């Protein structure tokens, strides 16, 4: 009879955990797929046979008493757990998977909500209606009818998995798979709840209040803990994430906490100055345009922008103003403009060519200079 202790290099009083540790080390060393030595395959069969005997309490006891560890009805080859080989190469925990729990955590959900610019700026409260899974009130999540309890599975004896032996080039390989009778739970609900069919939860529509803070923008998500669907078996509920989608405003353009508006005025209003009313998030406000206003300049209206999400306060509203030059003039309008030009000493065709270093240059050249720092 083979010396299984000697093959593994352990003493007779070595614990199961230590035997398993030694086996993993030897399996990695002698497995035919990683060891090209022609004698490695035979050595691997020896150590797996020794491990099967010494890792099974009954077989080990028969072997220690001098009997046949396989009781005369062995497979004539090496029988070993496939999971142990995987543990040997990938460092598994070495513990049986066991039955999976009926109670599991529910899934998270992602919902999207549309808000307008005003709601994004000042914040708002919304009620969101969702169809989701809630705990079954009849069985309170147990899945059992009339207060009954799940019964231990007769096939897997509560382990949640069954073993199957297959023949391979290295001997008999024992693999485990979930028990079909209990779906891996280790127990069977023989009298399932009529309301939830044993799942412990039912579908229902519920309304969730959502507080949207001021300053949010498209893509921001609000986390609502425990508001998602209840898990199978009455498990804890998942979370809900509410993603913001901001609807573009008709006249205001948002850039972070800054708002932009664009208006046009006549050249007379730009020359003489005027006051224009515009709609803001705070209602109608006056935009004061000083005399001699140039096309393309802006007016900054402090604290009329969007709320800062975390630090508080608000950004600004920047009003971009274009001066409109008329394209068609009546004869008397032309005469008035010519008269104005004569009074100002302006000559037809006269222009001022701005130099690179002209600090008083305005218009397009100045904007390029300021933008590129040149």
Neighbouring C-alpha atoms within 13 Å toward the C-beta of 347: 4
* Contact between 176 and 84 (Cβ < 8 Å): no
Can you give the pLDDT of all 374 residues of the chain as single tens digits? Answer: 678 889 999 988 888 888 888 888 888 788 766 777 878 878 888 888 888 888 888 788 778 777 777 764 443 344 444 455 555 554 444 444 568 888 889 999 999 999 999 999 999 999 999 999 999 999 999 999 987 999 999 999 998 988 877 666 556 677 778 899 998 999 999 999 999 999 999 999 999 999 999 999 999 999 999 999 999 998 999 999 999 999 999 999 999 999 999 999 999 999 999 999 999 999 999 999 999 999 899 999 999 999 999 888 999 999 999 999 888 888 998 888 888 888 888 777 766 676 666 655 555 445 544 544 44
Sheet bearing 298-301, strands edge to edge: 253-255, 258-266, 317-324, 298-301
Helices (H), the chain: 4-8, 16-30, 40-55, 57-64, 82-90, 117-122, 267-272, 331-343, 364-372
For 135, 233, 284, 285, 359, the CA distances from 156, given in Å and listed in that order, are: 29, 21, 75, 77, 89
Token pair, residue 237, equals 């509920």
Q: What is the predicted pLDDT for the residue at 2?
A: 79
Give the pLDDT of residue 372: 46
Q: Distance (Å, rounded) from C-alpha 85 to C-alpha 27?
A: 7
* The token pair that represents 250 in the structure block: 């008709």
Domains of the chain: 4-90 (1.10.287.110), 109-113+127-205+220-245 (2.10.230.10), 249-325 (2.60.260.20), 330-374 (no CATH)
**Residue 241, class by beta-carbon neighbours within 10 Å (0-12 exposed, 13-18 middle, 19+ buried)?**
middle
- Give me the phi and psi of 209, to 5 degrees please: -75, 135
């Amino acid at each position: 009879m083979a010396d299984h202790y000697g093959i593994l290099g352990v003493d007779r009083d070595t614990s199961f955990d230590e035997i398993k540790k030694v086996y993993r080390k030897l399996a990695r060393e002698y497995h035919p797929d990683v060891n090209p030595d022609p004698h490695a395959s035979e050595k691997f069969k020896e150590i797996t046979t020794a491990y099967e005997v010494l890792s099974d309490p009954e077989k080990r006891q028969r072997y220690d008493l001098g009997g046949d560890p396989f009781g005369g009805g062995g497979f004539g080859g090496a029988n070993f757990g496939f999971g142990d080989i995987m543990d040997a190469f990938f460092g598994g925990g070495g513990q049986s998977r066991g039955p999976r729990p009926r109670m599991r955590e529910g899934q998270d959900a992602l919902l999207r909500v549309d808000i307008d610019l005003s709601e994004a700026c000042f914040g708002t409260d919304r009620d969101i209606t969702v169809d989701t899974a809630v705990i079954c009130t009849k069985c309170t999540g147990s899945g059992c009818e009339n207060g009954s309890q799940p019964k231990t599975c007769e096939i897997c004896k509560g382990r949640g998995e069954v073993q199957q032996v297959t023949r391979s080039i290295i001997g008999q390989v024992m693999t485990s798979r979930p028990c079909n009778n209990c779906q891996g739970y280790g127990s069977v609900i023989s009298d399932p709840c009529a309301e939830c069919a044993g799942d412990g939860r039912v579908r229902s529509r519920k309304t969730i209040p959502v507080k949207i803070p001021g300053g949010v923008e498209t893509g921001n998500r609000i986390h609502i803990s425990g508001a998602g669907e209840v898990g199978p078996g009455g498990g804890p509920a998942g979370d809900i994430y509410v993603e913001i989608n901001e609807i573009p405003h008709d006249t205001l353009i948002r850039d972070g906490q800054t708002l932009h508006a664009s208006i046009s005025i006549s050249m007379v209003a730009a020359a003489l100055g005027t006051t224009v009313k515009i709609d803001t998030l705070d209602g109608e406000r006056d935009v004061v345009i000083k005399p001699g206003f140039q096309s393309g300049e802006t007016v900054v209206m402090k604290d009329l922008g969007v709320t800062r999400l975390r630090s508080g306060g608000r950004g600004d509203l920047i009003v971009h103003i274009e001066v409109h030059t008329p394209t068609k003039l009546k004869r008397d309008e032309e005469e008035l403009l010519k008269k104005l030009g004569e009074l100002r000493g302006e000559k037809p065709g006269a222009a001022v060519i701005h130099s690179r270093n002209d600090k008083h240059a305005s218009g397009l050249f100045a904007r390029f200079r300021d933008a590129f720092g040149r």
